[in-house]
Amino acid sequence: MVPEVFEHHLRFLKQNGYSVVPAIEFLKRTLPNPFSSVVLTFDDGCENFYTEAFPRLLRYGFTATVFIVTDWIGKKGYLSWQQLRELQNGGMTIGSHTCSHPHLPDLDPSQIRREIEVSKKNLEEGLHHPVSLFCYPFGGFNAPAIEFVRSAGYQLAFTTNRSLPNFPQAPFSIRRIRMGNTTHSIHLWAKCSGYYNLFRSPRPAH
């Protein structure tokens, strides 16, 4: 996404009174305004998150989660450990997007487990901070992947696939909506409304 379009999206959220909440807030089922609350996530840990998105998010007072592929840290075009620490200190959440970005359902269970567990451990050691969010590369997951995500100690996992039911019934297969350069205001409105279903409203605590 080009920076100008991203800026437009941030302005839209601000002007329309959306609350940008940390992803982990969705574990709390008592968000004050679930239909006007959004979670922003960014996959792959590209360096332009640091150079383009981070300063704009700070300017708007918004927070976001960045999902990192640990084998790519410090490679050309990707975030370095130092940048990750700065993002964390600046209020961003760092999550895992595996070690090597495979389509997990193509792997055998021991490889799936390694991608999920080792990436978490590497990030936690490098950032001295618990990592509780996971994102499936290409949105791909299966039953073993969900089970390894759960047993590794993650609290939420994100996909792009349609999965039913959605949050809070399925915290390890949360759907997301892709924002692109062609996503203009009317589409933004639809995408941010509960009807397009960025996230279903959390149910009241029972």
**Least separation in angstroms between CB 100 and Zn ion:** 11
**Least separation in angstroms between CB 70 and Zn ion:** 12
Output the CA angle 89-95-96, nearest 5 degrees. 140
Judged by CB, which is closer to Zn ion: 9, or 97? 97
The contact set with Zn ion (CB under 5 A) reads 43-44, 137
**Phi, psi (deg, nearest 5) at residue 152:** -70, -15
Judged by CB, which is closer to Zn ion: 140, or 202? 140
**Phi, psi (deg, nearest 5) at residue 64:** -155, 165
Neighbours of 73 (CB within 10 A): 17
**Least separation in angstroms between CB 84 and Zn ion:** 16
**Least separation in angstroms between CB 43 and Zn ion:** 4
Residue nearest to Zn ion (CB): 43
Judged by CB, which is closer to Zn ion: 37, or 39? 39
Q: Which residues pair with 134 in a beta bridge?
A: 96, 157
Among left, alpha and beta (phi > 0; psi -120 to 50; other), residue 45 is: left
Judged by CB, which is closer to Zn ion: 43, or 115? 43
The residue behind tokens 């409105």 is: 189
